[in-house]
């Protein structure tokens, strides 16, 4: 993790889009946060989490909207979150979707950690700030809470009402919009930022699971694997196909692959041994091939590539990629850009 926690900056960009729509001077506001308009427009540029918080607070003041984070989260298309939405929407149930979001938050937002737990009769989604002062911050945390509730409702096609909602910051009163949206009051000034649901809610199956992610990753995998020596209809090829859709969910382990193939872990290991390979070898080689393919997509941040490959930390991808190629992912991407530029010119 870097010394200064960073994030993709998506929430800040939504706030600035709202400013622009209102005819406000976005460049002037960004300069107060130490940013230029050109840098801010580049989706590949990550923002310090403290900078994002400052932009949101400045935008709320400029727009005279004390619940800007809430309104932004209510109004944007959830698909704008990116591939994480499709991973969540292709999970089996709410709990699996939230576990995917938990792993995503570890890589994509260094300053905010999502933690999902099921204990007793209650399932909880807790948000924790890391290396960032939580005191007084309201807009970003309210954006997160609303977004998470919206996702749970959208993937189940039901108006789920939390059994309890707690946030650390204070408000002078309960905004009526909060009560209307959440279906209950929010407890301000609590010891933590927590959304609670009864456990049965977490076990709800997802309705109309979105196949976009499966189709996209299948295409990426086909393109990546065709560059390798073809294996034909082998146990190895079945493992590779299964792993492709399990990795983004953080479930690319031998036990789960074997289960989905209708085998025991021991039988899978034996069959792969007959083909002179192993699960660990296949996983490593598949990740290497997919990493190179994903890095060709310039709109995919390197951190999101790490997440798609099933890693919990960006550093894990960096170390593995150096072992595979002798370069970091960013160096590999830059080299690819230069090669393509020379080919064109």
Pair 317, 306: CB distance under 8 Å: yes
Q: Looking at residue 217, what DSSP letter applies?
A: H
pLDDT in tens, 228-279: 555 556 899 899 989 988 898 888 999 999 999 999 999 999 999 999 999 9
pLDDT, tens digit, for every residue of 185-234?
999 999 999 999 999 999 999 987 777 777 777 777 777 776 655 555 68
Between residues 154 and 213, the one the model is more confident about: 154
- For 314, the token pair is 């960006």
Confidence of residue 40 (pLDDT cuts 50, 70, 90): confident
State residue 210's pLDDT score.
73
Q: How many CB atoms lie within 10 A of CB 7?
A: 24
Residue 162, pLDDT above cutoff 90: yes
Q: How many residues does the chain have?
A: 345
60/16 Cα distance (integer angstroms):
10
Exposed e or buried b per residue across 232-251, where buried means at least 16 C-beta atoms within 10 angstroms of its C-beta: eeebbebbbbbbbbbbbbbb
pLDDT at 337: 65
pLDDT at residue number 227: 64
CATH class of this structure's domain 6-202: alpha beta
CB 235 within 8 A of CB 272: yes
* pLDDT value of residue 273: 96
Give DSSP secondary structure letters for 171-189: -SS--HHHHHHHSS--BTT
Cβ-Cβ contacts under 8 Å for 338 (sequence gap 6 or more): none
Give the position of tokens 């299964």.
242
* Whether pLDDT at 290 is above 50: yes
Is 70 exceeded by the pLDDT of residue 344? no
pLDDT of 253 reads: 95
- Of 90, 25, 33, 91, give the one whose Cα is nearest residue 58: 33
Backbone CA torsion sign across 185, 125, 85, 255: negative
| Position 76 pLDDT exceeds 80 | yes
Q: For residue 80, with 0-12 CB atoms within 10 Å meaning exposed, 13-18 middle and 19 or more buried, which class applies?
A: exposed
Q: Per-domain residue ranges for the chain? A: 6-202, 212-344
* Amino acid 230: pLDDT: 54
Residue that is written with structure tokens 């590949």 in the block: 44
Confidence band (pLDDT; 50, 70, 90) for 3? low
- In Å, the largest CA–CA distance within the chain is 68
Mean pLDDT of 325-345: 75
Distance CA 302, CA 291 (A): 9
First to last CA, the chain: 38
The pLDDT value given to residue 70? 97
219 touches 185 (CB < 8 A): no
pLDDT band at 345 (very low <50, low <70, confident <90, very high): very low
Q: What pLDDT is attached to residue 167?
A: 97
Separation in Å, CA 204 to CA 3, 102, 123, 210, 253: 39, 18, 12, 16, 24
Sheet containing strand 193-198, strands side by side? 112-119, 122-129, 193-198, 164-166
- What per-residue confidence (pLDDT) applies to 147? 95
Q: Is the pLDDT of residue 160 over 70?
A: yes
Q: Mapped to the 3 state alphabet, what secondary structure does 110-152 carry?
A: CCEEEEEEEECCEEEEEEEECCCCCCCCCHHHHHHHHHHHHHH
Q: Which CATH number fits domain 212-344: 1.10.10.60, 3.30.750.80, 3.40.50.2000, 2.60.40.420?
A: 1.10.10.60
pLDDT over threshold 60, residue 1: no
pLDDT at site 25: 93
Pick from 5, 81, 126, 10: nearest CA to 307: 81
Mean pLDDT of 159-177: 95
**Alpha-carbon gap, residue 288 to 284, rounded angstroms:** 6
Mapping DSSP to helix (H, G, I), strand (E, B) and coil, where does residue 210 land?
Answer: coil
Residues 6+ apart with CB under 8 A from 245: 90, 213, 214, 217, 218
Between 38-47, 284-293, 310-319, the lowest mean confidence (pLDDT) is in: 38-47
State pLDDT tens for residues 100-141: 889 888 887 888 999 999 998 999 999 999 999 998 899 999
What CA–CA distances, in Å, run from 89 to 85, 174, 199, 221? 6, 31, 19, 20
């Amino acid at each position: 993790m870097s010394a200064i926690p960073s994030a993709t900056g998506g929430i800040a960009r939504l706030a600035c889009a709202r400013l622009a729509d209102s005819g406000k001077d976005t460049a002037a506001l960004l300069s107060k946060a130490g940013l230029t308009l050109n840098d801010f427009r580049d989706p590949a540029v990550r923002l310090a989490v403290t900078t994002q918080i400052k932009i949101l607070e400045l935008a709320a003041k400029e727009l005279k909207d004390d619940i800007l984070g809430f309104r932004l989260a209510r109004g944007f298309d959830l698909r704008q979150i990116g591939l994480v939405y499709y991973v969540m929407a292709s999970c089996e149930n709410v709990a699996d979707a939230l576990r995917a979001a938990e792993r995503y938050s570890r890589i994509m937002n260094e300053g905010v950690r999502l933690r999902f737990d099921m204990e007793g009769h209650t399932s909880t989604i807790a948000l924790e700030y890391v290396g960032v002062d939580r005191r007084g911050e309201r807009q970003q945390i309210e954006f997160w809470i609303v977004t998470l509730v919206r996702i749970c409702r959208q993937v189940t096609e039901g108006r789920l009402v939390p059994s309890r909602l707690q946030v650390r910051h204070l408000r002078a009163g309960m905004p009526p919009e909060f009560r209307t949206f959440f279906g209950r009051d929010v407890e301000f000034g609590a010891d933590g930022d927590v959304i609670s649901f009864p456990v049965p809610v977490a076990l709800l199956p997802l309705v109309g699971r979105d196949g976009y992610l499966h189709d996209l990753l299948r295409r990426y995998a086909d393109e990546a694997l065709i560059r390798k020596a073809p294996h034909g209809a082998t146990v190895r090829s079945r493992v590779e196909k299964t792993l492709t859709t399990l990795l983004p969910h953080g479930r690319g382990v031998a036990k789960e692959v074997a289960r989905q193939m209708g085998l025991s872990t021991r039988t899978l290991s034996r069959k792969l041994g007959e083909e002179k390979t192993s699960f660990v070898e296949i996983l490593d080689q598949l990740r290497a091939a997919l990493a190179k393919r994903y890095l060709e997509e310039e709109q995919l941040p390197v951190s999101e590539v790490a997440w798609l490959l099933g890693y919990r930390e960006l550093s894990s991808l960096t170390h593995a990629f150096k072992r595979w190629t002798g370069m970091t992912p960013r160096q590999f991407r830059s080299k690819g850009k230069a090669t393509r530029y020379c080919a064109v010119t």
